[in-house]
A = this chain, B = another copy of it.
Amino acid sequence: MGARSYGQYCGVTTAVELIGERWALLIVRDLLVGPRRYTDLKQGLPRIPTNILSARLKELQEGGVVRRVPLHNCGLVYELTPYGRALEPIMLALGRRGFQTMGEPSPDDVVTPDSLTMALRTAFQADAATDAEYELHVRDVALRASVRAGTLTVARLAPESSLPERGPVPERGPVPERGPVPERGPVPERDTLPERDPLPERGAKRRDEGPDREPDAVIVAGRGIRRLIAGELTPAEALAQDVLAVVRGDETFLDSFARTFHIAPLTELTKESAS
C-alpha cells in the first residue's frame, strides 16, 4: 500500500489521494485556464519548489488528469485531459467556498492572471449576466472579460503570456492586431486609485463585436474587487471609497459587472465557534 494511502476503499479518499496533495489542485487550477509550460506553471505558482512541481505533474499524468503535449515549434506544454477538465465544477465550488472565507490579502500575497481568471469564472452568474466587455486590472494583472449570451470568456492582457491564448494555431488568418495594452505605469497596490485617466484616443476602432472592440469599461481595482463581488459594497460605495475606479467607459457598467460577477456570502452567524 502506498505510503500516502488513507487505507480506505472509498471514493473521497481515492480522489483526495491524487488531487489532495499539496499544490496539485493549484496546478490544475492554472491548467483549467489553458495549456501551460513548465516554466509558466512555475511563474503562476511562485512559491512552488521545482521538485514538487515536477513530482505533481508526474502524479497527475499517471492519474490521467494531465497530459504532456509537444508543441509544434519545439516546446512542450502540459494540458488537462478531458478527464482533468472534468474537475472544473469541483474547482469552481472550492473557489466559491474559499472566496466566502477570504479576508484581506497578506502583505506578500500575489495575484496571478490564472488565479484571477478562475476567480472570475467562479463568480460568474450566467443567468444574471448581461452582455458586456470588461477590462479588469488588479495589481499588475490585466484581463479582458467578455460576456456574450450568458457565456464568459476571459483573455489575458498582462503580463503577456508567452503562449497563444487558445490552441496553438490561429484558425483564420494572422493573429489580429490588438491595440497596445493601455500603459499608465504600474497600477497602485493601494486601494486608493488615480483620478480618472483620460487616455489618448486610440486609432479609430469601431465598437463592433469580437474580442477587439473597445471594452465597455476598464475597471482598475485594488483589493476592493473582493468586497464588490461579495456584495459588501455596492458599486456606488466602491467608487465613493476609491477602492475601485472605472478609468474608461461608463461607470454604470460597474452595476452590470457586479450583477454578472457575484458570490453571496455565507451568513455570518454560522462562523462562530462554541465552547
Contact = CB atoms under 8 A, between A and B. Distances in A.
Given A68-B275, A273-B62, A94 B5 contact: no
A183 B116 CA distance: 57
Given A12-B91, A68-B273, 4 more contacts: A8-B110, A9-B109, A10-B115, A16-B94
A99 B101 CA distance: 29
Interface string A94-138: 111111111001111111100110110010000000000000000
A63 B101 contact: yes
A14 B99 contact: yes
A233 interface: no
Given A12-B115, A12-B118, A5 B106 contact: yes
Interface string A76-104: 00000111001101110111111111100
Interface of A: 1, 4-16, 18, 20, 22-23, 25-26, 29, 45-47, 61-64, 67-70, 81-83, 86-87, 89-91, 93-102, 105-112, 115-116, 118-119, 122, 223, 266-267, 270-275
A62 B273 CA distance: 7
Contacts of A109: 1, 5, 7-9
